[in-house]
Amino acid sequence: MMDEIDNHAIILLDRQGYIETWNKGAEKIKGYQAGEIINQNFRIFYTEADRQAGLPSQLLAEAATAGKVYHEGWRLRKDGSRFWGAVTIVASYNEQDVLIGFAKITRDLTERIEAETTIKLHAQNLESQNKELEQFVYIASHDLQEPLLNVSNFVELLQLEYGDKLDETAEMYLGVINHCTHRMRDLIKDLLDYSRIGRRKALVPVDCQHLVDTVKEDLATQLRQTGAVIQCGALPTVNAYAIELRQLLQNLISNAIKFTPADRKPVVTISARLHDHHWQFTVADNGIGIDPSHSEKIFKIFQRLNDRDAYEGNGIGLAHGKKIVELHGGALWVESTPGQGSRFVFTIPVHTL
Ligand code: ADP
């Protein structure tokens, strides 16, 4: 039976670790034929460093005292290449309880360990690239503010000191410069805010019902001006990043109202449903809707589908939203029927604090 098993090396060792039997699995994993390995010491499979450190005899000693020992590490094949071995050594005794040798079972886990190492490396790379990118956005937007401030200051000086010498056209030009610098300032502020998301990392219980009430207070002017109705089902308390979650809800509700045609009364419906491991929230509106071909694009930074004259905005709210939801380990997406409305859906995992 031992001989037929070819995915495990199963061998018997004497008390000193000299090899007594050899199966097909051992031949496949370690590369030696039975004839050339029997009577050699099993130390041969260990790296020079492990041999120097006395690992083979340590393992035998441990197996002899405890009955068995488990160990994982790099081992050597006949051709000198390495494999990751998962090794169990079991002590064997005669009827008088005297140690007579060991049975040793080895599995080759090289593929698993290499896959784990690759995943770990990718994760580390990704994390450091993300940090670099955030740092870059932060520094770039921070440094952009300074020259912009100079432009604004000098436009102000021009208007103050030369105002009476300027004709209407020059005034108009200055007005355009002013407008553009303001827009630029807003964009830079948005970028800075974006790079700051996730710096505060404390999950706290957030009562979403209460959160919607505070968002409604913040949006009071928009609600009054549009006559929008907010319908809200029972919402849970979730463990979340409070400020960010509020920002997300505020943006989704405000968009829902904003992207409804002026001749239609906006109706926004907020609901939440518990799934196995997460809460699924929906913010639905009866607005202009979104063509499904744009359902990815709208979550990218500074991407907008509508003219700024028709609907104001910078195109960063949903990019913020996506980052916030992902920070919680959830997902954000949109479902929509163009002309009839959109449903923004996001999930928040049920975190334990
Ligand atoms: P902004 O609202 O500043 O334009 P967002 O990132 O919040 O930026 O949204 C990006 C774009 O997605 C919007 O410009 C709009 O075209 C579209 N959009 C967002 N929310 C809705 C909605 N509720 N209904 C229809 N379109 C929407």
Do residues 147 and 184 touch, judged by C-beta distance below 8 A? no
pLDDT digits (tens, 9 = 90+) for 180-209: 898 888 888 888 877 777 666 788 899 999
pLDDT at 139 over 90: no
Identify the pLDDT of residue 352: 55
- Testing ligand 1's pocket by substitution, the residue of 183, 187, 285, 304 carrying the most ligand atoms inside 8 A of its CB is 304
Do residues 252 and 281 touch, judged by C-beta distance below 8 A? no
CA of 55 to the centre of ligand 1 (A): 63
Q: Is 283 in the pocket of ligand 1 (CB under 6 A)?
A: no
pLDDT at 308 over 90: no
- Testing ligand 1's pocket by substitution, the residue of 191, 259, 316 carrying the most ligand atoms inside 8 A of its CB is 259
In this structure, the residue with its CA closest to atom 19 of ligand 1 is 255
Which three-class secondary structure state does DSSP give residue 98? coil
The residue-averaged pLDDT of 321-337 equals: 94
Q: Is 305 in the pocket of ligand 1 (CB under 6 A)?
A: yes
CA of 138 to the centre of ligand 1 (A): 24
pLDDT bin (cut points 50, 70, 90) of residue 142 is confident
- Testing ligand 1's pocket by substitution, the residue of 254, 255, 305 carrying the most ligand atoms inside 8 A of its CB is 255
CA of 152 to the centre of ligand 1 (A): 29
What does R_g of the chain's alpha carbons equal in angstroms?
A: 34
CA distances from 96 to 60, 62, 92 (A): 20, 20, 11
Mean pLDDT for the chain overall: 91
The residue-averaged pLDDT of 152-180 equals: 92
Q: Is 304 in the pocket of ligand 1 (CB under 6 A)?
A: yes
Do residues 346 and 271 touch, judged by C-beta distance below 8 A? no
Q: List b or e across 257-270, with b for residues whose CB sees 16 or more CB atoms inside 10 angstroms.
A: bbbbeeeeebbbbb
In this structure, the residue with its CA closest to atom 23 of ligand 1 is 256
pLDDT bin (cut points 50, 70, 90) of residue 276 is confident
pLDDT digits (tens, 9 = 90+) for 76-116: 999 999 999 999 999 999 999 999 999 999 999 999 999 99
Identify the pLDDT of residue 133: 81
Element (DSSP H or E) covering residue 107: strand 99-108
Identify the pLDDT of residue 199: 65
**Residue 44, Cβ density class (10 Å: 0-12 exposed, 13-18 middle, ≥19 buried):** middle
CA of 319 to the centre of ligand 1 (A): 10
Q: Is 297 in the pocket of ligand 1 (CB under 6 A)?
A: no
The residue-averaged pLDDT of 155-163 equals: 92
Q: Is 318 in the pocket of ligand 1 (CB under 6 A)?
A: yes
Structure tokens at 270: 């907020």
CA of 255 to the centre of ligand 1 (A): 6
Q: Is 287 in the pocket of ligand 1 (CB under 6 A)?
A: yes
Other C-beta atoms lying within 10 Å of the C-beta of residue 87: 18
